[in-house]
Amino acid sequence: MDCSDSDCGDTGYEDYYNIQPWGGEVDNDVDPEQNRRDPEYAVCDCLRVEEIKPTPEQVPGSKSQKGGVCSVCVMVSPADRFSTLTCGHSFCKDCWCMHFEVQITQGISTSISCMAQDCDVLAPEDFVLSLLAKPNMRERYQQFAFCDYVKSHPQLRFCPGPNCQIVLRSKEQRAKRVMCSSCKTIFCFRCGMDYHAPTDCGTIKKWLTKCADDSETANYISAHTKDCPKCHICIEKNGGCNHMQCYNCKHDFCWMCLGDWKAHGSEYYECSRYKENPNIAHESVHAQAREALKKYLHYYERWENHSKSLKLEEQTLEGIKMRINNKVMNASGTWIDWQHLFEAASLLARCRYTLQYTYPYAYYMESSPRKELFEYQQAQLEAEIENLSWKIERAETTDRGDLENQMDIAEKRRVTLLKDFLE
């Protein structure tokens, strides 16, 4: 069956890339032209295991062997109890079988080598299967061999979804977003991890390792509360939007930098950009270490903040679903009349998901005009995301046309950034 990765898909908020009214059928070919314009778009086949299991390669038969003493068990056996690999080393079938069972128990399959000392010749699949007697061992070996086959094939990838048995075959070996047609898991085809554009596979692995290693250092920024910069009352962040309004003094400020929100407006969105110390190369080792930590925390805080915002916006989407259902039940319109709210929340999640993965990309970029362009586009995307989030959270008083216009702007910012920097 075909698995086409488009911007329309199954229901559910966890699928940040697909907008579909719940209860509807999935149509992956709604807009093929839009798919071709999508820089993340990829097409793959979702196959069952039996559809791609390779046939064991046939190897030349065992060489004739006279009966004698097996050099492993030192037992005398007749000729028909010996088997010989292409390297010429011959052992009794019982020893071969025991050798294979030990290797399979350790999870080894296609890399089982000859028992002779310093011999690197591998035992082919049909040779191993001809000597394994226990059905459970034969089954385990075939499972391991199939896994090795898929992992070594440049166009095949196991779906990482829980308990999913689907294997995806891609038309192109690139770091593209693919979706399993069975469990709807979305992941990067190249590395099998959560999709991470515009950050490449190697960079996201480095970033996630660094975050895990430095998690204790960054613990202090994990709290959900900050003080209002004007009246200093404690405020809890209970939504995804970074545009905050103090319930006490009504002061509007940015959750990330605590600056006056008016300064963010249509100006360059500075708080997403890290300002490096131009004289750091001449500072002491300790000063450089502090600067490195400061830089890391700048990007980590924004990475973590958008991750939390995505979780908070799940609640927003659930609330929108309930509101739409209530309006439909109370004859205040049909699903079509209110569908734009659901689409806006889904688009917001898709944009914020992309924005979250721009921070590892920026962290590892060297200072250059290209980095300045990236940070400018990153800032523009972040500004439009916050505008969209603000309007969604106040959707009851927001004009539909204004909301749909903001959706269009945010998506164009996202696609533009990916087209320029997706490698």
pLDDT in tens, 277-329: 655 554 556 666 777 878 888 899 899 888 888 888 888 788 888 888 887 88
Q: Is the pTM of this model over 0.85?
A: no
Separation of alpha carbons 7 and 14, rounded Å: 14
Cα angle 84, 90, 96; round to 5: 85
Read off the pLDDT band of 276 (50, 70, 90). low
Which neighbouring-strand residues pair with 158? 167
Q: Residue 69, exposed/middle/buried by CB under 10 A (0-12, 13-18, 19+)?
A: exposed
- Which string of b and e fits 169-196 if b means at least 16 CB within 10 Å? bbeeeebbbbbbbbbbbbbbbbbeeebb
Annotated active-site residue 159? The verdict is: no
Read off the pLDDT band of 259 (50, 70, 90). confident
Q: Residue 245, exposed/middle/buried by CB under 10 A (0-12, 13-18, 19+)?
A: middle
Q: At which residue do the structure tokens 């959706």 appear?
A: 407
Q: How many CB atoms lie within 10 A of CB 283?
A: 13
Residue type, 79: A
Separation of alpha carbons 255 and 270, rounded Å: 13
Alpha helices in 215-284 (DSSP H): none
91 vs 49, higher pLDDT: 91
Which neighbouring-strand residues pair with 77? 68
Dmax (CA) for the chain in angstroms is: 96
What is the per-residue DSSP string for 370-407?
HHHHHHHHHHHHHHHHHHHHHHHHTGGGS-HHHHHHHH
Max avg pLDDT among 4-13, 27-36, 243-252, 280-289: 243-252
- At 341 the three-state DSSP class reads helix
The active-site residue out of 97, 159, 228, 241 is 241
Q: What is the pLDDT of residue 49?
A: 64
Q: What is the pLDDT of residue 81?
A: 86
- Which string of b and e fits 326-341 if b means at least 16 CB within 10 Å? ebeeeeeeeeeebeeb
Which token pair is 198?
């515009």
Which neighbouring-strand residues pair with 47? 167
Q: What is the pLDDT of residue 327?
A: 79
Domains of the chain in sequence order: 68-149 (3.30.40.10), 201-422 (1.20.120.1750)
Please write the tens of the pLDDT for every residue from 119-174: 989 988 889 998 998 999 998 998 888 888 888 888 888 888 888 888 888 776 66
Read off the pLDDT band of 364 (50, 70, 90). very high
Q: What is the pLDDT of residue 53?
A: 63
Q: What is the pLDDT of residue 22?
A: 31
